[in-house]
Structure 1
Amino acid sequence: MNEPDPDIELLTRIGNNEPQAVDEMVSRKLPRLLALAGRLLGDADEARDVAQESFLRIWKHAASWRAGQARFDTWLHRVALNLCYDHLRRRKERPWADADELPEVIDPAPRPEEQLEASARSAQMEAALAALPERQREAIVLQYYQELSNIEAAALMNISVDALESLLSRARRNLRSYLAEPSGTADLGRGKP
């Protein structure tokens, strides 16, 4: 964490009510927030709600942000994760419990058969992710889809890097097992985090 936080100057500008700074923050952070929430919740509307609430918290805390305690991006990911957990708790159900509820994935491939194959693979991966225990899914999403380092992902999850690597190892093993089953019926170890 020796390198300067690239978001501090932007937060200062937001704290000073500069409209351009708000626009820049949205364009910089929205895609990753939507991707994180979408992967964890499996619902585009809920993902947009989480992103919107995350931005409201940015505006609320921008003027009082103190550099040095944590990187802004780490804090923002933690806020979004907590909001996702709130949504999941309110739902009291497993995301994507029914394969028919999976979001349709649009692939811009030119050939229709390639689109169908890519969509089936994506739906299978989404179902496999949804079948993982919550902590394993969180570790996979943070590292592979959010492209966080092991150190950053472990810090967000409040666990050691070794614990994160253990979760990732179990998650990858469970995903391989699930994806190897023709009907995706493999038991992904729901009892193990």
Structure 2
Amino acid sequence: MTPPSSSSQARDADADLLARYAAGDDAAARQLTQRLAPRVFAHAVRVLGDRAEAEDVTQEALMRLWKIAPKWDAGRAQASTWLYRVTANLCTDRLRRQTHADIDAVAAPADPAAPAPARMLDSARHDALQAALLRLPERQRQAVVLRHIEGLANPEIAEILDVGIAAVESLTARGKRALAADLAGQKDALGYTDD
């Protein structure tokens, strides 16, 4: 018998924490929030390009998780997958309401230990990627962010986006090609010298 994988252990731990919260254990909710909120927030920031909007989405997604906790069926879905799907839907709703995205409002993460030129280059790369991501069609953006930034597998992305695996592969491939084409003219300015 093979030992359980770390992802199945995490899934079981998430389900256990959700069940404990539903039974009245507030500490379990705090633990589950500490496990899942940073990932949800990071995904929302990348999709929306706005930290304040991403905080709102993260809070709303977690509130929905707490509301469904008493009815949760651990065999039906993973808590993290369900939460990513809710986050994706909330991001889509917000994007549909926006007239435009203000990429200048997104603060680039800075490493205080890095020298100023390196921080400036990192910031330029981050801003260029974020701007290019925001120019992608929304479904392609969701697929690229979930696959290549969040590191999720195609079956999990398919469940989150409610599409088939072939559609995820297509969305991801088209998104990557569009990003490459969009950023190709900026290689020198962003300090990339290789192909």
Structure 1 length-normalised TM: 0.86
Q: CA deviation at 1:182?
A: 3.8
SS at match of 2:76: coil
Q: Is the 8 A contact 1:12 1:63 kept in 2?
A: yes
> 2:49, 2:123 → 1: CA distance?
15
SS at match of 2:74: coil
105-114 vs 70-79, greater mean Cα deviation: 105-114
AA of the residue aligned to 1:26:
T
- Structure 2 unpaired stretches of 5+: 188-195
Which of the residues 31, 39, 54 maps onto 2:38? 31
User: In structure 1, what is the equivalent of residue 126 of structure 2?
Assistant: 122
AA of the residue aligned to 1:44:
R
User: In structure 2, what is the equivalent of residue 153 of structure 1?
Assistant: 157
Q: CA deviation at 1:14?
A: 0.5
- Equivalent residue pairs, number: 179
User: In structure 2, what is the equivalent of residue 95 of structure 1?
Assistant: 101
1:171 equivalent to 2:178? Answer no
> 1:70, 1:168 → 2: CA distance?
23
1:5-44 equivalence runs, <5 A? 5-6=11-12, 7-44=14-51
Q: Is the 8 A contact 1:94 1:130 kept in 2?
A: no
1:65 equivalent to 2:72? Answer yes
Which of the residues 110, 113, 118 maps onto 2:117? 113
SS at match of 1:47: helix
Q: Is the 8 A contact 2:88 2:161 kept in 1?
A: no
SS at match of 2:110: coil
> 1:47, 1:130 → 2: CA distance?
14
AA of the residue aligned to 2:101:
P
> 2:117, 2:134 → 1: CA distance?
25
1:38-57 equivalence runs, <5 A? 38-57=45-64
- Structure 1 unpaired stretches of 5+: 184-193
Identity within the alignment, %? 40
1:81 equivalent to 2:88? Answer yes
> 1:33, 1:144 → 2: CA distance?
15
User: In structure 2, what is the equivalent of residue 187 of structure 1?
Assistant: none
